[in-house]
């Protein structure tokens, strides 16, 4: 069942030989789609956040993700690629902590996707290297922020 879910949510991982080859523009399109999906998900979670400062930090992450998605869209269009509009329902959780855990998990999936194709992208599209480095730094900051927010949201965090 896990393999079926992985194949559905991470099609780039599945193929007959165990590793599907994607063209660089297709990778960028997939990254763009995943960034926007995660931004939409985090935005919906910000609306449900229990504290204003948490909601504000989540909205900052959303703004940064949307900005990078817009820049990535320009890169894709410069490479004569198109943007596929896709909508996916944001992941939900029964409480704030679970929603943040899901955001962090999806953030890590996105980072995994980028690291898996980073060498290919920088070799075949050297003009995107600086953008990819910036995107990597931004994602690392988002991972740290989400991890900190999870620690604060964890009901067991303040107990000894």
Domain membership of residue 13 (yes or no) is no
Domain membership of residue 65 (yes or no) is yes
Note the pLDDT of residue 122.
Answer: 94
What is the per-residue pLDDT across 11-58, written as a single tens digit (0 to 9) for each?
Answer: 555 443 333 578 999 999 999 999 999 999 999 999 999 999 999 999
Domain membership of residue 17 (yes or no) is no
CB 43 within 8 A of CB 58: yes
Domain membership of residue 4 (yes or no) is no
Name residues of the chain where pLDDT drops below 70: 1-20, 86-87, 89-90, 155-160
Burial label for 115, CB within 10 Å (0-12, 13-18, 19+), is exposed
CA atoms within 13 A on the CB side of 89: 3
Is the pTM higher than 0.75? Answer: yes
| Residue span of the structural domain in which 103 resides | 22-153
The tally of domains found in the chain comes to: 1
CATH number for position 41? 1.20.1260.10
Domain membership of residue 31 (yes or no) is yes
């Amino acid at each position: 069942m896990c393999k079926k879910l992985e194949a559905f949510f991470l099609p780039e991982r599945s193929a007959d030989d165990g590793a599907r080859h994607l063209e660089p523009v297709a990778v960028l399109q997939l990254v763009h789609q995943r960034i926007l999906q995660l931004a939409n998900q985090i935005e919906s979670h910000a609306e449900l956040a229990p504290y204003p400062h948490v909601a504000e930090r989540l909205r900052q992450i959303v703004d940064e993700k949307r900005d990078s998605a817009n820049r990535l869209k320009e890169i894709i269009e410069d490479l004569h690629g198109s943007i596929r509009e896709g909508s996916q329902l944001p992941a939900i959780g029964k409480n704030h902590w679970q929603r943040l855990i899901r955001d962090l998990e999806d953030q890590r999936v996105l980072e995994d996707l980028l690291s898996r194709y980073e060498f290919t992208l920088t070799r075949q599209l050297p003009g995107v290297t600086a953008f990819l480095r910036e995107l990597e730094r931004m994602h690392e900051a988002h991972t740290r922020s989400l991890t900190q927010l999870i620690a604060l949201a964890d009901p067991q965090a303040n107990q000894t």
